[in-house]
Amino acid sequence: MLRRASLPNRKTSRRSFVAAALLLAFAAPSVPAAAADAPGGSAVETPAPTTRQPLGTKTLHLVDTSRTDPWKPAAGHRELMVSLWYPALPSRETPAPYMSPALSKAMLGSDALAGVRTHAVAGARPAPVARPLVVLSPGFGMSRLTLTGLGEDLASRGYAVAALDHTYEAPVEFPGGRVEPCLICQKMDPAAVVRNRAQDIRFLLDQLTGPRGEPRVDRHRIAVAGHSIGGASAVQVMRDDPRVDAAVNLDGDFFTEPPAKGLNRPVLLMGARRAQATRGDWERNWSHLTGWKRWLDVPDGGHMTFTDVPWVVERFGMPAQIPPKDVPGSFGTLHAARATALTRAYVAAFLDRRLRGRPSPLLDRPSAAYPEVHVLK
């Protein structure tokens, strides 16, 4: 079903929750698995993190026994899959694959991404000291794994990072190889999705910071960041949960009204082409964010600039089913390497300032190092 979805135009992707389709439209059944092999037979790697800090990763399967799944009540309790990335002790083990063959096929119609390696070792021993926690929520229709580039980079800078899938909003693989499809991709209520995601994230926080949680997580320093509707959900959960200290919205419209009335905690809004005709949603909601806030714009970017998707497209090619007229709004003209670099730099600067108290001039004025980023407010 998802592989047949076509990209909506830029206005639709901004205004409608049907924007989900564009986040998977880069997937093409024609992508050959052999494309994952680099010259000489070495595996393709995702973009390297900023530092050389060894990284570990592990996968969690969580069941919220307090909730029935809202999108498939017959399934029973709400199930979630989570990827953790964290600073680790050195290991000689091979880094984990980007995606399993089964999930790659569900997402792309090909196992191409199963041959891509990340930079984190599965099950590596965590480095000592509790770390500030950052939760990542993907765009609708997108796997949590398409935020791997950002997640690994934040872990390399000393954060504990947890990216979660929102079941039935994208293909999700569970233990044993069971892959659940996107059940609501053709019909959805955006506000209901945001509210449900906030519950997913709060449950995840309970699991990570509770008595049986992750020992290396600092429960007193927590941020949530998300892309597209995941960004709206990040702000929503900060309104709902006092444990969340800061939120990052990466090019996501707000779908609840108002999104955060009287919310006086820090919010970073980082979007693409939001200084143009698509600025209205953020403009209307700006005054409701009463704490520290910043609005950054990437005029040459696209809606997917802040994910791994530009790198995937640049590495494996633009699928034929994406209409040329939809490419600018989705990808812009920014090269993947620059998209990755600026997303990592500004998100890390915000989190360093808000969770660690470190000065970040990058957020206060235009930067010669990142001329693609404009400070609008």
CATH of the domain at 6: 3.40.50.1820
Cα 224 to Cα 243: distance, rounded to the nearest angstrom: 10
> Quick one: pLDDT at residue 316?
78
Q: Which long-range contacts (CB under 8 A, 24 or more apart) does 67-76 make?
A: 67/199, 67/203, 69/167, 69/168, 70/192, 70/196, 71/167, 71/168, 71/169, 71/183, 71/184, 71/196, 72/168, 72/183
CA angle, residues 171, 173, 177, in degrees to nearest 5: 130
Both tokens assigned to 152: 């690994």
For residue 172, the surrounding DSSP H or E stretch is strand 172-173
Residue range(s) defining the domain that contains residue 315: 2-375
User: How far is residue 266 from each of residues 7, 213, 245, 251, 307, measured CA to CA in Å?
Assistant: 33, 26, 7, 17, 22
> Quick one: pLDDT at residue 260?
54
Residuewise pLDDT in 10s, the chain (377 residues): 222 222 233 333 343 333 444 444 544 344 444 344 444 445 789 999 999 999 999 999 999 999 999 999 999 999 999 999 999 999 999 999 999 999 988 877 778 888 899 999 999 999 999 999 999 999 999 999 999 999 999 999 999 999 999 999 999 999 999 999 999 988 889 999 999 999 999 999 999 998 888 888 999 999 999 999 999 999 999 999 999 999 999 999 988 766 556 688 999 999 998 877 667 888 888 888 999 999 999 999 999 999 999 998 888 776 656 777 777 788 888 999 999 999 999 999 999 999 999 988 899 999 999 999 999 98
Burial (CB < 10 A; 0-12, 13-18, 19+), residue 230, is buried
Cα 333 to Cα 331: distance, rounded to the nearest angstrom: 6
Q: How many domains does the chain have?
A: 1
> Quick one: pLDDT at residue 321?
62
Output phi, psi for 154, to 5 deg. Answer: -65, -40
